[in-house]
Structures are given as C-alpha cells and as structure tokens.
C-alpha cells in the first residue's frame, strides 16, 4: 500500500498524553490551540511503537496514519486562522482609530473575537453615519474568494488510507465548483489567461476604457444600471473593477476568461481530453468510493490544506465629501480595502473546516476499536490526538462567527 510516513513532528503536533511523553500547552479561555511545544517524543509503553505514524502496512495502520495526519493539520490550521483573523482585525481597527485596549481579549473572550467585534461595530457605525448624516453613497464590492483543493493530493490521501482506492484508476468528482488545471490537449469549458491588454471574453479584475457587457463590481465612470447596494450591474463607461462579462474594449488587468475552443495556454476550467496537470477543485471533492473513516480524515486534511485566494475589494464613494470628513472617509476606505478580502477568504476556508469537523470527530470515536490490532500504543495515540479536536472545532466556530460579523457589517 502506498502509505505516507509521518515522523516525529507528527507526534509532537498531535499527541497530548503520555503516549508521546508530553502534551499541548494550555488553551486559555479562547478555545484556540496555544501553540506551545510538546514534551520529548518517546516510545509508547516502554519500547512499543512510537507515535511516528509508521504502524505497518495493514488496513488499520492506513486508517490510523491518515487520521493522525488529518488531526495535526486540522488543529494547527484552526489555530492559524484564528490568529490571522485577530491580526487582520487589529490592522483594520488601527486604521479606524480603535484603541488597542478595545481589541484585546480577556477572560473567556478570544483575541480574535474582541478585535473583530470591535471592528464590525465601528464599520457599521461609520457606514450608517456617513450614508445617513453625510448623504454619501458608499458602494463596497468584494470579488468572492476562491478556495482550491489539489485533486492529486486528495487521491493520494485516499489511496494511503483505503487499500481499495487506487489513485488514477478511480476519478474523484468536484461538486459545487469546477476542475482547474493545465491542459496540453483539448480544453472543454473555459480558458483563463493572465491579461494586461485587450480581452474578448470575460475580464476578471479591472477593465479600463469601457465595459459594454455587464460590469459587476464598481464603475469609475458612468454605470448604466446599479444594484440596490450601489454597485454597478450593467455597462460601464470608465473603469470596471470586478468582472466585465464581455466587451472589455480597453485594457483588462487580471484574468481574461473565454470559451475554450481547443488548446488553452493558460488555466483550463472544465475538462481536458487528456489528464490535467496539477488539477484543482474549487468545490467539494467527492471520491467514487472510499471507506467512511478514510473519507472523513481526507476531507478534514484537504479542507485544512485548501489554498484560498482573497478576491479584490473596491470601495466607491460618491457625493460631496466635506473637508472635515475627508480624513474619516479615507480611513474607512483604507480599512475596508486593507482587510476585508482576507477576512472573507478566511471565512470561506473556515466554513470548509467546519463542515469536515463533525465527521472527523465521529471518526475519532470509532477508530480506537478499529486499530485495536495495532496494540495499546496505537489506541493511546488516537485517544490523545482526538482530545484536541473538540477544542479545535470550538475555535473554528468562534472564527466563523467573527469573520461573518465583519463581512456582514459591510454587506459582504
């Protein structure tokens, strides 16, 4: 079986009990992983198999190794995302003039919640006041972030865990999204290439001069039709920031996406007549058949390893900005464009983690019985690793809540 081998680092990242001679540092009131180190790695039970993930070539060993690897990545990513949200919100808060003391966690309030809740409240207050009292029209358009999961990495994980799954012979499906990658033959679907000039297809980024198609985003110029939030949703005479569905008569800066007719020199989105190079799924990967425990571990690990790219954020303010409001308006605009894209990208990844969290927690409860043949040391490793999951899922829940609060404060 082609099974991944995980070394000492795995044990150090996952194990909480004497199974590896140490445990994680304190959690504090936040529910986030503290990131403190683990004690020295040692063998279990005085010389039995160490928690290094190399438990042999049996089916039980494959499940155990996949679970330990998934738990490591799942818990560490939950911690990283919460820390990232706290940092981003504090940067936005500083731009908005929020005192540091109002963005600092204490007691049972995590730092990310304190900082992001303060920012969300300030954004709501500023936008409401400027739109109401100052009679300004403020349109905020954030191009949706995109999360991608490597199809080959998922297949490798599934094949390492479940001997009946052979990477390459059984094709995984991408649901709720599309397969993207390199195509050396015929591409079916659309072809995306980096652009810095004319674009006969859909321009994702900025279209200068004129967008005769539908500009979904902000229009620096004259917009034929606007949405309820003030964003452009029609032809734009000027510069369209967001997506110009067709007819970018000027210069497209970003990606030009056109219907694929044959070969694609850029990124093929859809299908390819031969195997794609480095295929990625922007939706949810569904394998044709993988044991439930293995699918739960691979879903959790791939959700944690997903690469999420923030979309662009544009803020357009129209109306008479009086001299005494200029600085305030500029700080508001800068804060939103500084952090909103990252907040929304984190939210998308967190929602993926939340969906996969329930299944891997269930697997943690079932696995000790499934790996009993590997000895007490293996069961102890599972139990200790599983102890980190409830705290990680609690951290994810808090992070989803605060990222949604900031996004909702500006209508994102």
Tens of pLDDT along the chain (412 residues) come to 333 333 323 333 333 333 333 332 333 333 332 232 222 222 333 334 466 657 888 988 999 999 999 999 999 999 999 999 999 999 999 999 999 999 999 888 999 999 999 999 999 999 999 999 889 988 888 888 999 999 999 999 999 999 888 766 446 788 999 999 999 999 988 999 998 888 888 998 889 888 888 998 888 888 898 887 778 889 998 889 888 988 788 889 888 999 887 889 899 998 899 989 999 999 999 888 889 999 999 999 999 999 999 988 888 888 888 889 999 999 999 999 999 999 999 999 999 999 999 999 999 988 888 888 888 888 888 888 899 999 999 999 999 999 999 999 998 6
Q: How many CB atoms lie within 10 A of CB 166?
A: 12
d(CA 130, CA 103): 23
pLDDT of residue 28: 33
Cα–Cα nearest to 158, from 284, 358, 299: 299
Which conformational region is residue 152 in: left (phi greater than 0), alpha (psi within -120 to 50 degrees), or beta? alpha
DSSP state of 100: G
pLDDT of residue 208: 87
Using CB atoms within 10 Å of the CB of residue 279, give its burial: 0 to 12 exposed, 13 to 18 middle, 19+ buried. buried
Angle at CA 275, nearest 5°, toward 272 and 280?
A: 80
Q: Which residues of 124-137 are buried (b: 16+ CB within 10 A; e: fewer)?
A: eebbeebeeebebe
Cα–Cα nearest to 141, from 344, 380, 399: 344
**Inter-residue contact 373 to 160 (CB < 8 Å):** no
CA of residue 359 relative to chain centroid, distance: 18
pLDDT of residue 197: 82
**Inter-residue contact 144 to 167 (CB < 8 Å):** no
DSSP state of 145: P
For the chain, which residues make up each domain, given as ranges? 8-147+303-409, 178-281
Please state whether beta strands 210-223 and 179-182 pair in parallel, antiparallel, or not at all (unpaired): unpaired
pLDDT of residue 8: 29
Helix count (H) and strand count (E) of the chain?
8, 14
Cα–Cα nearest to 360, from 304, 404, 288, 399: 304
d(CA 7, CA 4): 10
CA of residue 38 relative to chain centroid, distance: 27
Find the helix or strand (DSSP H, E) in which 203 lies. Answer: strand 202-207
């Amino acid at each position: 079986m082609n099974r991944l081998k995980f070394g000492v680092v795995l044990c150090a990242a996952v194990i909480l009990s004497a199974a590896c001679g140490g445990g994680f540092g304190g959690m504090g009131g936040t529910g986030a992983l503290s990131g403190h180190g683990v004690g020295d790695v040692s063998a279990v039970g005085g010389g039995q198999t160490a928690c290094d993930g190399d438990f042999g070539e049996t089916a039980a060993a494959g499940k155990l190794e996949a679970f330990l690897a998934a738990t490591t990545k799942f818990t560490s990513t939950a911690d990283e995302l919460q820390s990232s949200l706290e940092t981003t919100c504090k940067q936005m808060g500083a731009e908005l003039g929020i005192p540091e003391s109002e963005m600092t966690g204490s007691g049972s309030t995590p730092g990310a919640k304190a900082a992001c809740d303060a920012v969300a409240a300030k954004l709501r207050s500023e936008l409401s006041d400027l739109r109401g009292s100052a009679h300004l029209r403020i349109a905020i358009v954030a191009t949706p972030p995109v999360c991608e999961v490597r199809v080959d990495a998922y297949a490798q994980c599934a094949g390492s865990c479940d001997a009946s799954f052979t990477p390459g012979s059984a094709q995984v499906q991408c649901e709720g999204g599309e397969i993207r990658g390199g195509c050396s033959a015929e591409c079916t679907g659309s072809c995306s290439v980096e652009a810095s000039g004319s674009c006969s297809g859909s321009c994702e980024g900025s279209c200068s001069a004129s967008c005769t198609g539908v500009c979904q985003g902000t229009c620096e110029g004259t917009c034929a039709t606007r949405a309820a939030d003030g964003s452009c949703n029609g032809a734009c005479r000027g510069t369209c920031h967001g997506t110009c569905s067709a007819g970018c008569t000027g210069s497209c800066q970003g990606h030009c996406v056109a219907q694929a007719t044959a070969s694609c020199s850029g990124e093929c989105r859809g299908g390819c007549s031969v195997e794609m190079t480095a295929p990625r799924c922007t939706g949810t990967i569904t394998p044709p058949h993988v044991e439930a425990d293995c699918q739960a571990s691979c879903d959790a690990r791939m959700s944690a390893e997903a690469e999420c790219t923030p979309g662009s954020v544009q803020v357009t303010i129209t109306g008479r900005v009086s001299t005494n409001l200029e600085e305030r308006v500029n700080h508001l605009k800068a804060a939103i464009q500084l952090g909103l894209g990252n907040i929304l990208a984190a939210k998308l990844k967190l929602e993926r983690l939340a969906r996969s969290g329930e299944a891997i927690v269930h697997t943690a409860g079932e696995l000790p019985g499934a790996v009993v043949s590997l000895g007490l040391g293996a069961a102890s490793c599972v139990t200790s690793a599983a102890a980190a999951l409830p705290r990680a899922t609690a951290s994810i829940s808090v992070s989803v809540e605060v990222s949604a609060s900031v996004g909702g404060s500006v209508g994102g």
